[in-house]
Amino acid sequence: MNTPTVTTPAVRRRQLMVTAIMALIVLVPSLLGFGNKFREFILLFRGDVDGVFAISPIMNYLLAALGFFCLFGWAMLHGMFHDIEEPKRHFLETERELDRRLPNPPIA
C-alpha cells in the first residue's frame, strides 16, 4: 500500500498557478478570436442573405456552449470546485476500499 500523497501549501500554490496560467492561455486568445469572428458573422448576416445558411453551425455551437455555461454555473453554486483536489483522493480511497472487500485482494 502506498503512503497517502501529502499536498503542501507550496505544491498547492504551484498547482493553482499552473492551472490559472493554462486557463488564461486557452481562454483569452480563444475568446478574442471567437468574439471577432462572431462580429464578422453578424455583419455578414445583416448585409448578405446568402450568409444565412451559415447560421446552423453557429446556432449549434451556441446552444452547446449555453448548456455547458449553465452546467458550469450549477457546478460552482453546488460547491463542486470548493476543494478542487479532494475528489482525486476520495476516488482512490474508495477503490482501495472496494478491493479490500475482496476475499483475495489484488496483489499489490
Q: Is 49 in the site for other proteins (CB under 8 A)?
A: no
What is the rounded CA–CA span in Å between residue 99 and residue 105?
6
Q: How far is the CB of 56 from other proteins (least distance, A)?
A: 6
Cell of 96: 482501495
Q: How far is the CB of 44 from other proteins (least distance, A)?
A: 7
13, 59, 74, 89: residue in contact with other proteins (rule CB under 8 A):
89
Q: Is 2 in the site for other proteins (CB under 8 A)?
A: yes
* Count of CB atoms situated within 10 Å of the CB of 92: 13
